Structure 1
């Protein structure tokens, strides 16, 4: 339960929460981790004269799915020896988002515009492919609904004769996401949106370096 991959999943879940907070607090309320909300907004926005937000939600969904597709393809073709390669793609996307925001809108505005957020959504989609089992995602980093469902099932198994290990891992994953969102919310009170993107880029770069230089070389795939 507490091996290197588990610890890395907590860090990445926290990173996803931080990224989501940056996108939500410094934009018009865009979701980069909540595709259920984007789907409902894409459908229901037209019923409340919010066609712009509905269209934006569709764009975010498309960017998120594209991130999943590209990261999955890269894993199959180029990252066979680096199962955590998606963190590299996420780092690049966050850096591009920060650079695009600075280039197009300057360093003064506090808000992040829609174009950089598309790159962020792409990066979050890629990040969610970090943990696979039989070519399927085994740890949903930003899919909090799924984590809570698994947490509830684990609690029931514990109550029916299991042990705390049935739910503790999911609780820690959920708590990591919450702490990341909390850190992002607090950070949003202190810095501009582009600075939050840079902070998230730095954190993701550090994690990427750790996975490439240590985890992937000394983990189960090491020669």
Structure 2
């Protein structure tokens, strides 16, 4: 039995959907901050990092390959640690990963400020970016259903694939809600990246990390206010937590 159109429209713009747009925009902003003020490191694009890690040696760029591999490891570690914290400590706060992301950005900012004072370079160094990649990995665990990520915030390729499939279902007689949610998520990520790019034209690298940290802190406060309003994890997730 198909869900009524009114219910589908309500789901497209409910509180969970709105918070996913905010977090996707945050992921885009963080990615822009890392990319624009570094040697071109990716903290949201793990496909690109995988190819760099594998192909860097073919261009005699072993340092690029190693950096990409370290970013992959840091991102994956963020996913693992945030997932573990969700199971152990955040049974009442399903969007707790935003707090971990904020802490990582704050640490990255502190390290970058120390390095800036020592080296006087305008670019963000690689070590802080490892913390940023860890934070982005954690952020991607913000939406979990049945133990799996249901809304991958920085996985744009997957979002586009799902949007394309939804467009086909709509053309074949389905509802526009089949693709609009994915489009809004993609648009939010793009707007976040655009905002990050615009900010990078106005502030230095170290200030860009501070900006991202402040924005992430505000978003973290928003998610916790949201949870106060809408309650803890679904009962299935709480059962997983208690069984651990």
Q: What's the TM-score once normalised by structure 2's chain length?
A: 0.88
Q: How far apart, CA to CA, are the structure 2 residues paired with 1:156 and 1:220?
A: 35
Please list the CA deviations of residues 11-68 of structure 1 after superposition, one character each: whole Å capped at 9, or x if unmatched: 1111111111111111111000000000000000000011001000000000000000
Equivalent position of 2:217 in the other structure: 205
Equivalent position of 2:226 in the other structure: 215
Q: How far apart, CA to CA, are the structure 2 residues paired with 1:35 and 1:147?
A: 14
Q: Specify which of 125, 143, 150 is matched with residue 155 of structure 2.
A: 143
Equivalent position of 1:87 in the other structure: 98
Deviation at 1:106, TM superposition (A): 2.4
Q: How far apart, CA to CA, are the structure 2 residues paired with 1:144 and 1:97?
A: 24
Q: How far apart, CA to CA, are the structure 2 residues paired with 1:202 and 1:4?
A: 22
Q: Specify which of 67, 82, 94 is matched with residue 56 of structure 1.
A: 67
Equivalent position of 2:9 in the other structure: none
Equivalent position of 1:167 in the other structure: 179
Deviation at 1:221, TM superposition (A): 2.5
Contact 2:24–2:188 under 8 Å retained in 1? yes
Equivalent position of 1:45 in the other structure: 56
Q: Specify which of 25, 29, 33 is matched with residue 36 of structure 2.
A: 25
Q: How far apart, CA to CA, are the structure 2 residues paired with 1:69 and 1:102?
A: 28
Paired residue total: 221
Gaps spanning 5+ residues in structure 2: where?
Answer: 1-11, 234-244
Deviation at 1:220, TM superposition (A): 4.1
Q: How far apart, CA to CA, are the structure 1 residues paired with 2:57 and 2:232?
A: 49
Equivalent position of 1:10 in the other structure: 21
Contact 2:104–2:131 under 8 Å retained in 1? yes
Q: How far apart, CA to CA, are the structure 2 residues paired with 1:175 and 1:200?
A: 19
Q: Specify which of 119, 127, 140 is matched with residue 128 of structure 1.
A: 140
Contact 1:18–1:200 under 8 Å retained in 2? yes
| Structure 1 stretch displaced more, 3-12 or 103-112 | 103-112
Q: What's the TM-score once normalised by structure 1's chain length?
A: 0.97
Deviation at 1:111, TM superposition (A): 0.7
The yes-or-no answer on 1:182 pairing with 2:197 is no
Q: How far apart, CA to CA, are the structure 1 residues paired with 2:128 and 2:47?
A: 21
Please list the CA deviations of residues 101-128 of structure 1 after superposition, one character each: whole Å capped at 9, or x if unmatched: 0012229532101000000000000000
Contact 2:43–2:71 under 8 Å retained in 1? yes
Gaps spanning 5+ residues in structure 1: where?
Answer: none
Which has the larger Rg? 2
